Amino acid sequence: MDTNAPMVSSDAARLDRLAELAVKVGLGLAPGQELVMTAPVEAVPLVRRITEHAYEAGATLVTTLFSDEQQSLARYRLASDGSFDVAPAWLFEGMAQAFRGNAARMAIVGNDPSLLAEQDPAKVARANRAQSKAYKPAMDLIVDSAINWTLVPFAHPAWARAVFPSLPQEEAVARLWDALYAVTRVDEADPVAAWAEHNARLDARRDWLNGRRYRALRYRGPGTELVVGLAEGHSWMGGASTARNGLYGNPNIPTEEVFTTPDWRVTEGTVSATKPLSYQGTLIEGIRVRFEGGVIVEAHADKGQAVLEQMIGTDEGARRLGEVALVPASNPIARTGLLFLNTLLDENAASHVALGQAYSKCFVERDLSEEELARRSANRSNIHVDWMIGSPEVEVDGLRFDGGADPVMRGGEWAA
């Protein structure tokens, strides 16, 4: 794709509106902040527009780190075996240093979901394990919301071909952009105002759940009979939030979820995924797992079994839950009817859980020590992988401390 090719005026205008949303609604960028951005090389048109809006908002410096999929493939074709246990810790420590200095973080998301499908799953797992370990100093600051950060999609050509395999590339890219602009609310008359209204709705749902103070959630549906405990002192979050640096923004563009931290120890039963999971170049389909004592003791997939096993074998925490999220089935992402093959989009199409790292920010009390987080069973891991378990056929109940239960979701929608 020629990243210097001119865009038709309507597409250029919508791309510019997405860039404006990313800076104003996603980051809430403040004058005097630096911005550290990562993006695929194909996303140069969006990167340039975001850079312009960032400087107009008062950014002191915008630094972009580009990734190239052909370089990634070259590693798997040509690098020595030892390469897959190495990651640029120096780079990630530099990013962490920038975040400690209050730099904002933006990731432009969009790549070939099947890029590593033909590569050795063991090497992919080793490379990701090394990457996760090296990135942890920076990731800890992001997960803890020490700084304002956001993720924004870009219609990468290979991604578009994967979502619309029967269409010519140009038409597939246009169709994917149409879908992305719709779910990010770029096509609204006033996208910034539309996001304010959307955040208000998410705030109301978050406040309702926080007022109920459930001890656990119970899921019942085809292939699912699961109880997920909620951590002591948990707090539901969703939509926009205020980072520890005092800046208000939306970590995900788009987002449809309200989420919190589970008590991983109180997870019992079986659960079946309601959508495939695109993970490290493999589409894992038909996931079914059984939890016992908070840990996955059985895991099966109709397709991608080896990758599923590699994923949950990353470390001790990879077999435990780190997030639980509720999403109504009528949301704009679900209404597209598309499997986006990208977690940023697909996780927001349905209620989901995540294996791995928990959010330490999802507590009424802030600045909890690692010891206190561990006492409250906030999971720790080098991964955080969301997968979808919600559908109109899955009922969700809130379990009260008095032994009663309230309907939370019925037919895929909020019950109250």
pLDDT at 240 over 70: yes
Query: Do 285 and 221 fall within a single domain?
Result: yes
- DSSP designation for 107: E
Phi–psi pair at 164, nearest 5 degrees: -125, 70
Q: Looking at this protein, which amino acid is placed at residue 329?
A: A
Query: Do 174 and 249 fall within a single domain?
Result: no
Report if residue 207 sits inside a domain. no
Query: Do 33 and 100 fall within a single domain?
Result: yes
Share of the chain above pLDDT 70, in %: 98
Q: If we measure between CA atoms, which residue out of 163, 384, 350, 358 comes closest to residue 272?
A: 350
Domain with 74 in it: what CATH number?
A: 3.40.1830.10
**Which range of residues forms the domain containing residue 13?**
9-183
Residues making up the chain, counted from first to last: 416
| pLDDT band at residue 128 under the 50/70/90 scheme | confident
What pLDDT, in 10s, does the model give residues 292-325? Answer: 999 999 999 999 999 899 999 989 999 999 999 9
Burial class (CB in 10 A: 0-12, 13-18, 19+), 211: exposed
Mean model confidence pLDDT for the chain? 94
Mean pLDDT to the nearest integer, 79-104: 97
| Total domains, the chain | 2
H/E element, 105: strand 104-109
Lowest mean pLDDT among 20-24, 84-88, 328-332, 341-345: 341-345
H/E element, 303: none
Query: Do 167 and 217 fall within a single domain?
Result: no
Query: Do 173 and 239 fall within a single domain?
Result: no
Query: Do 318 and 389 fall within a single domain?
Result: yes
Q: Chain-centre distance of CA 236, in angstroms?
A: 16
Helix/strand/coil for 223: coil
Cα(377)–Cα(394) distance, integer angstroms: 26
Residue 57 confidence (pLDDT): 98
Cα-based angle 200, 37, 116 (whole degrees, multiple of 5): 100
For residue 163, what are the CA distances in angstroms to 72, 110, 277, 347? 21, 12, 14, 16
Residue 366 confidence (pLDDT): 81
Helix/strand/coil for 336: coil
What pLDDT, in 10s, does the model give residues 47-60? Answer: 999 999 999 999 99
Supply the DSSP string of 85-103, one letter for each residue.
Answer: G---HHHHHHHHHHHHTT-
Residue 2 confidence (pLDDT): 47
* Residue 68 neighbours by CB distance under 10 Å: 11
Q: Residue 216 forms beta bridges with which residues?
A: 229, 399
Query: Do 44 and 95 fall within a single domain?
Result: yes
Q: How many CA atoms lie within 13 A of 128 on its CB side?
A: 22
Cα(19)–Cα(3) distance, integer angstroms: 16
Cα(353)–Cα(173) distance, integer angstroms: 30
Domain boundary, last residue among 145, 162, 183: 183
Query: Do 347 and 402 fall within a single domain?
Result: yes
pLDDT at 141 over 50: yes
Q: In what order do the strands lie in the sheet with 61-67?
A: 61-67, 34-40, 104-109, 149-153
- DSSP designation for 272: E
Cα(140)–Cα(93) distance, integer angstroms: 11
Tokens of 315: 């470390």
Query: Do 237 and 338 fall within a single domain?
Result: yes
Q: Looking at this protein, which amino acid is placed at residue 195?
A: W
**pTM beyond 0.85:** yes
Query: Do 122 and 249 fall within a single domain?
Result: no
Query: Do 178 and 241 fall within a single domain?
Result: no
Look-up of token digits 């975001």: 50
pLDDT at 369 over 70: yes
Query: Do 163 and 274 fall within a single domain?
Result: no
Residue 270 confidence (pLDDT): 98
Cα(305)–Cα(296) distance, integer angstroms: 14
End-to-end CA distance of the chain: 48
Cα(30)–Cα(218) distance, integer angstroms: 41
